[in-house]
Amino acid sequence: MTAGIGVIVRAVPNQHKCTAFLSTGRSEGRQAERTRCITVRIAGFFVCRRLGQQCFAFCNGNWNKGRAQDGNWMARQRLAIIGAGPKAVAIATKAACLRDLAALPLEVVIFERDVIGAAWTGQFGYTDGLQRLCTPAERDVGFPYDTDLAADLDRAMLARFSWTAFQIETERYGDWVDRGRPKPTHQDFAQYLAWCLSGLGPIRFGPVTALKHRNGRWSVRYTSRDSGASISEGRFDGVVVTGPGPQSTNLRKVADGRIFDGVDFWRPGVIAAVKQAAASGPDDPVVIIGSGGTAAATAAALVRADISNDIRVLGSQAALYARADSYFENRTFRDPKFWSALSAADRRTFSDRLTRGAVWSNVVNVLAGVERIDYLQGAAKEVRFDPPGTVGGALMVVYAPSAHPDAEVPLQASAVIDATGFDPMWFRTLLSPSLARKLNNEKKMRTQMASDLSLPLEGVPRLHVPMISQAVGPAYNSLMALGSLSDAVLRPYVSAALA
């Protein structure tokens, strides 16, 4: 008989003690008179699936106390997630499987301003939806399928919520394989996310306006998209903040219709506006500020739009670093032992090199074949009019060359795209002023983050922020190991439910 979920353990009536030899998958009763008791191994416990009973399982020489799953003895846990993107989907789907496997009283409520997977659809910025993921489809919401939270949890995730299951249910699996298993477009990925959440709920649609905590619980206030009413929902044991955040405001810029950013550039009709601005100054380049994936994707989009102006990518790195798909790099994203062996400095270097400051090689190869694209090493200081103060005058990007950080070099531009990155700490505006001030020490928030990706905030319920979790693990702020992310976030709530 196979060990794990669905194992039938025969126990002594009334005492409900059983011996489970999980290493061989066999189970034996201690007397002739037997009662059937189904156990689920979860978070180090054996959860008895026979309602109203208790069970003791004997494994590897130790007695492990099981729990009856009538739900009364287990502590209900509620988790709020802001944003219905891939991280939220990974957490919500795994929580659903845990509920099904062991009736774990774990509720996940998602708050989404727009639609599921909004940042991937091409309708709300960040992408046009037509680009392909840089990661393979198999890195779905359950990858790498090596959870230790519960027996058969990986099988449940793979069967219900994997990319393969999505392709089979939508009758596209055969075509996908025949075409060489291509990486999904961003729109395809958004459809997959919506499919995963179909029927799960609850999802509250509307912008979140405040996060407040009292007596060890969070409450979330949001404006309902349907009614327009301001609604507060409370008693959350933790909150997860997801999403890249809005465009960073670190770069000083004048207000002008020829200046765009890494969010708005991708909205419908904006690339046409960039092309029109470039045509009005054909002798001046289009300047993209930034040296990461957003900057490279923006440059590639301008090439596809057939903009004839020169394109200058201005970045603080020495070059546009190419990120290849390598086993030796990929395994670091899912191997906690390898990661824990690195120093803090090496972890930061790895994350900067392979996530924030890297461009996938297929994008770099496209740009390298276009002669009118050039890369400039330097730090942008501001975007202003020339002469200064002349509203509507020539656009000037002022930057300090890498070799001369104190210098100021002007670069006239026909259009400017700020692709310097996003603000992962945007949620500070949702917090009370006193709590928001504690987050001003961003270095502390990053370097002292807990293993469950929660911020080091004393006296505050758990506030998980995966987007700044590079010190804990390199995969949690990306799509590289969403299954590991959900394990990290859910682990304390699973343990609390079984305590």
pLDDT digit string, tens, across residues 180-211: 999 999 999 999 999 999 989 799 999 999 99
Q: Look at residue 318 and tell me whether its pLDDT is greater than 80.
A: no
Q: Look at residue 5 and tell me whether its pLDDT is greater than 90.
A: no
CATH number given to 77-244+426-498: 3.50.50.60
- Average pLDDT (241-252) is 92
pLDDT for the residue numbered 347: 80
pLDDT for the residue numbered 69: 41
pLDDT for the residue numbered 75: 79
pLDDT for the residue numbered 47: 60
Q: Dump pLDDT digits (tens) for 426-457.
A: 999 999 999 999 999 999 999 999 999 999 99
pLDDT for the residue numbered 22: 31
- Average pLDDT (118-139) is 92
Q: Dump pLDDT digits (tens) for 272-291.
A: 999 999 999 999 999 999 98
Query: Token digits for 88?
Result: 């939220």
* Domain parsing of the chain, residue ranges: 7-68, 77-244+426-498, 252-418
User: What does the mean pLDDT of the chain come to?
Assistant: 84
Q: Directed axis angle between helix 153-161 and helix 86-102, to 10°?
A: 120
Confidence of residue 334 (pLDDT cuts 50, 70, 90): confident
Confidence of residue 117 (pLDDT cuts 50, 70, 90): very high
pLDDT for the residue numbered 338: 81
The CATH number for 252-418, chosen from 3.40.50.2300, 3.40.50.620, 3.30.360.10, 3.50.50.60, is 3.50.50.60
CATH fold match for the domains 77-244+426-498 and 252-418 = yes
Q: Look at residue 225 and tell me whether its pLDDT is greater than 70.
A: yes
- Average pLDDT (258-269) is 93
Is residue 420 within 8 A of residue 292, CB to CB? The reply is no
pLDDT for the residue numbered 80: 98
Confidence of residue 41 (pLDDT cuts 50, 70, 90): low
Q: Look at residue 345 and tell me whether its pLDDT is greater than 70.
A: yes
pLDDT for the residue numbered 351: 75
Cα gap 466→453, rounded to integer Å: 6
Query: Token digits for 164?
Result: 């393969």
Confidence of residue 355 (pLDDT cuts 50, 70, 90): low
Nearest residue to 490 (alpha-carbon basis) of 174, 155, 95, 19 = 95
Is residue 494 within 8 A of residue 91, CB to CB? The reply is no
Confidence of residue 32 (pLDDT cuts 50, 70, 90): very low
Confidence of residue 151 (pLDDT cuts 50, 70, 90): confident
Q: Look at residue 165 and tell me whether its pLDDT is greater than 70.
A: yes
pLDDT for the residue numbered 9: 31
Q: Look at residue 173 and tell me whether its pLDDT is greater than 80.
A: yes
Q: DSSP labels for 124-169?
A: SSS--S-SBPSS-TTS-TTTT----SBTTHHHHHHHHHSHHHHHHH
Largest CA distance in the chain: 95
Q: Look at residue 10 and tell me whether its pLDDT is greater than 80.
A: no
Q: Dump pLDDT digits (tens) for 47-99.
A: 654 443 444 444 444 444 444 444 445 678 999 999 999 999 999 999 999 99
Confidence of residue 142 (pLDDT cuts 50, 70, 90): very high
Q: DSSP labels for 330-399?
A: HGGGT-HHHHHTS-HHHHHHHHIIIIITEEEHHHHHHHHT-TTEEEEEEEEEEEEEESTT-TTSEEEEEE
Q: Dump pLDDT digits (tens) for 357-367.
A: 566 667 777 78
Lowest-confidence pick of 160-169, 222-231, 287-296, 406-415: 287-296
Query: Token digits for 331?
Result: 């395994």
- Average pLDDT (465-484) is 91
Confidence of residue 293 (pLDDT cuts 50, 70, 90): confident
pLDDT for the residue numbered 392: 83
